Amino acid sequence: MSLIIKSLGKLKDTLTGRSRDHVIQFENTHAVIHRDVESPLKNLKQKAREAGFDLAIASSFRDYNSQLNIWNLKSLGKRPVLDSAGNPLSVPSMKPEELVFAILRWSALPGCSRHHWGTEIDVFDRNSLPKDYQVQLIPKEAAPGGIFARFNDWLDTNISGEGFFRPYSKDKGGVSPEWWHLSYAPVSQRYFEQFDLSLCQNVIKDSAIELKDTVLQCLPDIYSRFISNISLPDTRSV
């Protein structure tokens, strides 16, 4: 029984970003990923290279504290909060509930982010970068005519072969479409099935999160719209 309890506790720590036991550094980069993602990611990078792209990682594993810092800075107006088109909003003029849902369009709750799992990566094509350009990870970069449009089209037809999919490929009324966000389905789907509303509630109750009362009040809606509401992988990715 004690081994089962210990195992469940370890899984919860993995799901909520309080453990790093499941992640490793990827090659000679800043990226940290789930150990099972290393081989398929190397394969995807090689295929991209052969197609003329340099697949680079803008964001990967984030622990609980890193996600908490992002959330709190946005809640306090010290980091930009964007609308669905990627344009800055005026935080001081927003009501608490309005601000919570605006932040959630682009940033997950601490303890409830898929980036805690190490299975999620935000990617771009380094070969397409104009000189001195700062990657923003906003829709216009990947949209037709954007600097990453060709790369985005290539990802469309190549990621599933290595087990990746886009959980935010469509606007389903929750997280804004993020065509750069790839998820490794064989692992992330197992984690996704274990992450429920009660786990989300417990981690928020114990969190030093800004706007906590509003978040807890709205949590069932948040869970259904922004956490469980994803585009599922096709059978080739799982």
Q: Cα separation of 91 and 99, whole Å?
A: 7
* Complete domains list, the chain, with CATH: 2-227 (3.30.1380.10)
Q: In this predicted structure, what is the pLDDT of residue 4?
A: 40
Amino acid letter, 200: C
Token output for 195: 């992450």
Q: In this predicted structure, what is the pLDDT of residue 193?
A: 96
Q: Cα separation of 91 and 228, whole Å?
A: 26
Edge-to-edge order in the sheet of strand 164-165:
55-59, 120-125, 181-184, 164-165
Question: Exposure of 7 by Cβ count < 10 A (0-12 exposed, 13-18 middle, 19+ buried)?
Answer: exposed
pLDDT in 10s for each residue of the chain, 238 residues: 443 444 667 999 999 999 999 999 999 899 999 999 999 999 999 999 999 999 999 999 999 999 999 999 999 999 999 998 889 999 999 999 999 999 999 999 999 999 999 999 999 999 999 999 999 999 999 999 999 999 999 999 999 999 999 999 999 999 999 999 999 999 999 999 999 999 999 999 999 999 999 999 999 999 999 999 999 998 666 6
pTM of the model as a whole = 0.94
Q: In this predicted structure, what is the pLDDT of residue 2?
A: 45
Q: In this predicted structure, what is the pLDDT of residue 5?
A: 40
Q: Cα separation of 37 and 194, whole Å?
A: 19
Largest CA distance in the chain: 58
Q: Cα separation of 149 and 142, whole Å?
A: 5
- According to DSSP, the residues that pair with 175 across neighbouring strands are none
Q: Cα separation of 131 and 115, whole Å?
A: 29
